[in-house]
């Protein structure tokens, strides 16, 4: 009888007590909130419970009421970013306090293995200067914060929360395991701005772009037959990563996006650009941006053998990425012609990527324009006797290699469509002269137009020229 009485008392106490609010995993101590914004805070509580939110940077308190399913959400105004540390207290009768919260700019970083690759590298695949970044981590504990979304899958059904993850401050251990590109983007920014950078990474190696898009977006740009083929192209189906690894974080206010993906879609040169443009539109809308204001910076996939170094599947895909670049507002592409490795698909040079992506942000958002951060690209060509003069745009101050030095990576062909290695040199501010004794009447020029080939044409700041061609012979190698 006594045991029964104690059980009844315990049940009564349990039902009478308020449950502590439950937050999504992306909201937690050590996080960076987007500055100068009405940021979203949300979670679960008892149905109908009153929820109060107070923040240490303001005296005002925000209150709301959980709906019948226990869901609640509020908006809290944030000040300009700084290196101050704050607390947030959320209570439905029992307080939950988030500590060490900072306010700055937040970037969402996604893609496949070259975005996933950690600072410490992988077996036989190092990241250049990894020890420096790992051993200097403590200096950035109050300048960089990173949240890594744990892997999850959900076909066509948006998940309310991600499988796991927590906001981490840089330490030797945490930095070693952080996304190298995302960390080095922040690393190259924090010394130039007066506030911390928060990075949310959601990535999965070997994945295709269609898995990062909802079905409605895919249906806008692909045929039913194309979508059906993509269900069989990978073990991860279309929509699965969007629903499980993007949808749960899309309420988290952010400044912009970084994207490093494409190797797994190498053959989709007829529609990858429209998929990427539609994905960007979707993500911006998910984050409440209907005016295309949120920057989207992506990385050109790097040269690699891709099964055959002499083949041209890689440069054909880069052409597709350049078409995407031209069609997406507030977009920039970090060129990587100089970082690729013939026998490893994960280049060791990750700082070049982080630095170039950070340079776009400095130019566009932080008032540090005036430098040549855009890759030079092909503009036009003309025949001059037995040579072709190639003209480039976006060259800034000029091109290199400099005087009396040959440019490596050019090929030239006549009407027979047979390409020969060419002699080339920078002949003017924006021009390169290309010729070969084997081609007396040239009609076409290609640069770096192999899956992997030595090449060295850059602007004077070292930003490499992406692969290009003057012909449209897709079947000619």
Per-residue pLDDT of 254-298, as tens digits, reads 999 999 999 999 999 999 999 999 999 999 999 999 999 999 999
Q: If we measure between CA atoms, which residue out of 99, 255, 251 comes closest to residue 185?
A: 255
High-pLDDT (> 90) share of the chain, %: 93
Give the 3-state secondary structure of residue 176: helix
Q: Of residues 150 and 371, which shows the higher confidence score?
A: 150
The predicted structure's pLDDT at residue 307: 97
| Mean pLDDT to the nearest integer, 60-86 | 97
Task: Report d(CA 24, CA 250) in Å as an integer.
Answer: 12
Structure confidence at residue 404 as a pLDDT band (50, 70, 90): confident
pLDDT confidence of residue 346: 98
Looking at the predicted structure, is the pLDDT value of residue 43 above 60? yes
Classify residue 467 by burial, with Cβ atoms within 10 Å: 0-12, 13-18, 19+.
buried
Q: What is the per-residue pLDDT for 6?
A: 44
pLDDT at 370: 75
What DSSP state is assigned to residue 125?
Answer: B
Quick one: pLDDT at residue 11? Answer: 38
- Tell me how far apart the terminal alpha carbons of the chain are, to the nearest angstrom: 88
pLDDT at position 367 is: 87
pLDDT of residue 8: 40
pLDDT number for residue 191: 87
Digit-coded pLDDT (tens) for 320-369: 999 999 999 999 999 999 999 999 999 999 999 999 999 999 999 998 87
pLDDT of residue 403: 85
Q: What is the mean pLDDT of residues 193-205?
A: 97
The Cα–Cα gap between 146 and 380 comes to 43
Per-residue pLDDT of 412-455, as tens digits, reads: 999 999 999 999 999 999 999 999 999 999 999 999 999 999 99
Q: CB burial class (10 A; 0-12, 13-18, 19+) of residue 4? A: exposed
Please tell me the predicted confidence (pLDDT) of residue 85: 98
pLDDT on residue 16: 38
């Amino acid at each position: 009888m006594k045991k029964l009485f104690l059980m009844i008392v315990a049940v009564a106490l349990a039902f009478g007590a308020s449950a502590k609010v439950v937050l999504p995993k992306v909201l937690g101590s050590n996080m960076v909130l987007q500055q100068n914004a009405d940021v979203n805070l949300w979670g679960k509580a008892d149905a109908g419970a009153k929820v109060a939110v107070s923040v240490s940077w303001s005296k005002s308190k925000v209150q709301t009421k959980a709906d019948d399913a226990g869901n609640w959400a509020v908006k809290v105004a944030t000040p300009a970013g700084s290196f101050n540390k704050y607390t947030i207290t959320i209570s439905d009768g029992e307080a939950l306090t988030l500590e060490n919260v900072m306010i700055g700019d937040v970037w969402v970083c996604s893609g496949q293995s070259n975005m996933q690759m950690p600072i410490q590298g992988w077996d036989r695949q190092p990241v250049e200067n990894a020890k420096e970044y790992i051993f200097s981590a403590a200096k950035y504990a109050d300048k960089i914060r990173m949240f890594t979304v744990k892997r999850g899958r959900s076909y066509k059904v948006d998940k309310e929360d991600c499988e796991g993850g927590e906001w981490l401050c840089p330490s030797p251990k945490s930095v070693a395991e952080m996304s190298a590109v995302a960390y080095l983007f922040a690393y190259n920014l924090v010394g130039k701005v007066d506030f911390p950078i928060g990075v949310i990474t959601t990535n999965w190696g070997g994945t295709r772009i269609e898995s990062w898009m909802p079905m409605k977006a895919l249906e806008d740009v692909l045929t039913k037959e194309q979508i059906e083929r993509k269900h069989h192209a990978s073990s991860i189906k279309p929509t699965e990563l969007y629903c499980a690894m993007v949808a749960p974080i899309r309420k988290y206010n952010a400044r912009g996006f970084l994207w490093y993906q494409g190797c797994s879609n190498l053959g989709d040169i007829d529609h990858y650009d429209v998929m990427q443009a539609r994905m960007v539109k979707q993500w911006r809308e998910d984050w409440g941006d209907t005016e295309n204001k949120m920057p989207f910076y992506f990385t050109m996939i790097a040269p690699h053998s891709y099964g055959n170094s002499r083949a041209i599947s890689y440069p054909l895909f880069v052409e597709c990425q350049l078409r995407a670049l031209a069609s997406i507002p507030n977009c920039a592409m970090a060129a990587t012609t100089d970082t690729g490795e013939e026998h490893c698909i994960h280049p060791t040079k990750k700082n070049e990527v982080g630095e170039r992506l950070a340079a776009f942000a400095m130019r566009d958002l932080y008032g540090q324009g005036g430098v040549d951060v855009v890759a030079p690209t092909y503009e036009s060509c003309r025949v001059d006797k037995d040579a072709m003069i190639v003209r480039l745009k976006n060259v800034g101050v000029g091109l290199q290699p400099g005087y009396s030095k040959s440019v490596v990576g050019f090929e030239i062909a006549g009407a027979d469509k047979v390409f020969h290695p060419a002699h080339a040199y920078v002949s003017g501010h924006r021009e390169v002269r290309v010729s070969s004794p084997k081609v007396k009447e040239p009609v076409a020029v290609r640069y770096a137009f192999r899956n992997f080939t030595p090449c060295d044409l850059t602007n004077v700041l070292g930003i490499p020229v992406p692969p290009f061609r003057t012909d449209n012979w897709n079947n000619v190698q």
